[in-house]
């Protein structure tokens, strides 16, 4: 038995078209059946989670079954909210005649590379670190592998960027002392959270500088906290989904190695759409011979991971009834 569903955070990823969303949905149904309060979150801008459940989903949780909620994050909504906060904060620094140009720059930023990913990351980080979350388990149905790997490694990059921005804007000795006070002495340890303004050193700065410094430092702390959750194998686990074909195998092997480098725990690689033994016909027999070579290659490339299998179904997966059947198959497979 895998303990994947005993964690608080589960990430389901893999190459596009291998069945990540279907597996995410079925895992959520299985967890809910076991009495866990579960939320499934789609982070792929090309959402299909609602299609699998045959329900309309939006940017806030919708109850699909007892103990099971789902939502589809809208990156555009996240970008708009983030830029609105930035614009409002900048009003305290910019002269009134500069606001039109500032708002024009914000409009351009909406289409800048990385803007959606950064906004998406911040939303995910808040879900991951929410101490008052009502859910026992959050399953993230992620975008194809390359996008997901950037998303999971972005907290570290964003923290470095934030620290660089703070250093660039260090205009006073007091702010320098604050940064020195809040800089970790070793590794990725977090500095002490702000409690008393008189103790964190920000109270010596003017209000506007203090507000910007606090915002940037809070964001840096949020990303570090999220990263810590991702690295903890008792809290977080990554499940790769792949099919017994050449390209998914190559991409999965590379992704597993990349996550190992950044200390993200990978729990298993689920081999989806394996031809059932009872399938007959000359065409399927030829496919089965080819599939056998790929299954052997999966064993060689990913031998360090558990490799449960799911059969190729004779129907599309859509609706609660089919997902409940698939959940039973996952349970038989050891989940």
| Confidence grade of residue 166 (pLDDT, cut at 50, 70, 90) | low
pLDDT higher for 158 or 175?
158
Residue-level pLDDT at 190: 44
The full length of the chain comes to: 335
Tokens of 303: 């031998």
Per the listing, tokens 């799911």 go with 310
- pLDDT at residue 12 greater than cutoff 90: yes
Q: Over the chain, what is the mean pLDDT?
A: 82
Q: What is the pLDDT of residues 201-227, one digit of tens each?
A: 555 555 666 666 677 778 778 888 888
What's this model's pTM, rounded to 2 decimal places?
Answer: 0.82
pLDDT tens for 183-196 read 555 444 444 444 44
pLDDT per position as a tens digit, 73-121:
988 888 888 778 777 766 766 667 777 877 787 777 777 767 777 788 8
Residue 12: strand pairing partners: 141, 239
DSSP 31-96: HHHTT--EEEEE--SS--HHHHHTS---SS-EEEETTEEEEE--HHHHHHHHHHHHHHHHTTTS-G
Maximum Cα interatomic distance, the chain, rounded to a whole number of Å: 79
Per-residue pLDDT reduced to its tens digit, 288-297: 999 999 999 9
Per-residue pLDDT tens digits for 220-236? 788 888 888 988 999 99
Question: Which residue shows structure tokens 């279907």?
Answer: 22
Element (H, E) at 332: helix 320-332
Which of 45-49, 70-74, 79-83, 284-288 has the weakest average pLDDT? 79-83
């Amino acid at each position: 038995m895998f303990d994947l569903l005993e964690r608080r955070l589960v990430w389901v990823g893999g190459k596009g078209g291998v069945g990540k969303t279907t597996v995410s949905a079925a895992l959520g149904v299985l967890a809910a059946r076991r009495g866990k309060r579960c939320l499934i979150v789609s982070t792929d801008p090309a959402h299909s989670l609602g299609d699998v459940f045959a329900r309309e989903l939006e940017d806030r949780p919708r109850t699909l079954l007892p103990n099971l909620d789902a939502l589809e994050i809208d990156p555009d909504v996240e970008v708009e909210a983030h830029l609105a906060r930035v614009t409002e904060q900048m009003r305290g620094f910019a002269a009134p005649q500069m606001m039109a140009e500032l708002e024009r720059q914000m409009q351009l930023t909406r289409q800048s590379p990385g803007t959606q990913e950064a906004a998406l990351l911040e939303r995910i980080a808040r879900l991951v670190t929410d101490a008052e979350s009502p859910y026992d388990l959050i399953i993230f149905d992620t975008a194809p592998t390359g996008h997901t790997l950037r998303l999971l490694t972005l907290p570290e990059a964003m923290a470095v960027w934030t620290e660089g921005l703070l250093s660039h804007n260090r205009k006073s000795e007091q702010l320098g002392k604050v940064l020195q006070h809040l800089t970790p002495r070793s590794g990725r340890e977090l500095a002490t959270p702000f409690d008393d303004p008189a103790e964190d050193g920000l109270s010596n700065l003017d209000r506007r500088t203090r507000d910007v410094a606090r915002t940037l430092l809070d964001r840096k702390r949020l990303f570090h906290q999220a990263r810590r959750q991702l690295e903890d194998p008792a809290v977080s686990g990554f499940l790769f989904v792949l099919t017994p074909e050449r390209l998914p195998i190559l991409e999965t092997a590379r992704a597993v190695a990349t996550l190992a480098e950044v200390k993200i725990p990978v729990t298993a690689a689920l081999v989806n759409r394996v031809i059932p033994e009872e399938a007959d016909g000359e065409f399927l027999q030829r496919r089965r011979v080819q599939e056998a070579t790929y299954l052997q290659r999966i064993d060689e490339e990913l031998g360090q991971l558990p490799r449960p299998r799911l059969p190729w179904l004779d129907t599309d997966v859509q609706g609660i009834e089919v997902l409940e059947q698939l959940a039973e198959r996952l349970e038989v497979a050891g989940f």
